[in-house]
Amino acid sequence: MFVLGIETSCDDTAAAVLLDGRIILSNLVSSQDDVHSPYGGVVPELASRQHVKNILPIVDQAIERAGIGLKDLGGFAVTYGPGLTGSLLVGLSFVKGASYRWGIPYVGVNHLEAHLLAIFLEREVPFPYIALLASGGHTLLYLVRDFSDYLYLGGTRDDAAGEAYDKVAKMMGLGYPGGRVIDQMAKDGDPRAIRFPRARMKSGSYDFSFSGIKTAVWHYLRTHGDAQKIDIAASFQEAVVDMLIAPTMRATKNLSVERVVLTGGVSANSRLRIKMMERAKELGVEAYFPSPALCTDNGAMIALAGHHLLKRGRKDALGLNADADLTL
């Protein structure tokens, strides 16, 4: 079955065609970074206007590159939450219209579920596994027991990990989004140059907190300036990476789970990948990472999650609404 996946929950317009829930025939993303960069963050109204401009060309290209026609599609899959309401509505309305016009079924997909399953686009992972979803909007830890069977373990109490990267990048005048730039700069810096604090939750909690590190960097910059940019970047990153790894590994140990899957934009981070691998090896846990293009928002993961829903016979009605606060 060919499924067309569409993602417009935040600032990327993405479309992909997936065959049989595994084979990516096309996977295109139109980024809006240039539009939002002057503001140091996503401007919701600008994001939805850009989606309106981008959606048709991106979908056309996804279908063309896949070498199929609309009539070959077994279904559409589209993100209906969580995310920015205006952005979600563009993708959802587009898919509803196409579904009605062409008589092809569609399903609404939970963006978080799609991230948790993205690894299956590249390899099989036996259930159960601990999934760490770290992106610009979310930092969440789940026990994934099966398709559609997710146990929430913890989440951030304030900023998401990617948000901390983006805010620190803004303070340092590095532009938006900041994750990739800081990752790159940190490669030349000393991660032990500055000892930024690590938030610790009481034992038994799998929560995260990134507002403290953000404030600590702000104080540092105010008192010392930013002459040592590479060391600040490396030291900040080391603290974030440590704070992501600690609850994740605690969960594998406490719940006796032997596999951990990382996902979301921040899991493209090179230091997180290296350190998580090392820690996992020490604990006899297997760590899995999707390729960076499948960690960040993409249409293929939406098509994948949609494929499983369609296979189970789900078909959404035209009354389905966008849900900005959708949970899993």
Query: Counting contacts by CB under 6 A, is residue 27 touching ligand KG4?
Result: no
- Rounded Cα–Cα distance for residues 65 and 212 (Å): 45
Query: Counting contacts by CB under 6 A, is residue 137 touching ligand KG4?
Result: yes
Judged by beta carbon distances under 5 to 8 A according to partner kind, the member of ligand KG4, Zn ion, none in contact with residue 269 is ligand KG4
Candidates 18-26, 102-110, 282-290, 297-305; binding stretch for Zn ion (CB under 5 A): 297-305
Please, are residues 113 and 82 in contact by the beta-carbon 8 Å criterion? no
Three-state DSSP state, 129: strand
**Binding residue (CB under 6 A) for ligand KG4 from 8, 27, 79, 135:** 135
Per this entry, what is the length of the chain? 328
Binding-site string for Zn ion from residue 96 to residue 135, where x marks contact by CB under 5 A and - marks none:
---------------------------------------x
Please, are residues 271 and 186 in contact by the beta-carbon 8 Å criterion? yes
If the CB atoms of residues 160 and 213 are measured against Zn ion, the closer one turns out to be 160
Q: Report CA-CA distances (Å) from 50 to 47, 58, 81, 276, 307.
A: 5, 12, 18, 36, 27
Query: Counting contacts by CB under 6 A, is residue 306 touching ligand KG4?
Result: no
Query: Counting contacts by CB under 5 A, is residue 297 touching Zn ion?
Result: yes
DSSP label of 284: T
CA angle, 127 as apex, 252 and 258 as ends, to 5°?
Answer: 30
Residues 153-212 that bind ligand KG4 (CB under 6 A): 162, 165-166, 177-180, 183
Give the footprint of ligand KG4 on this chain (CB under 6 A).
10, 135-137, 162, 165-166, 177-180, 183, 264-266, 268-269, 296-297
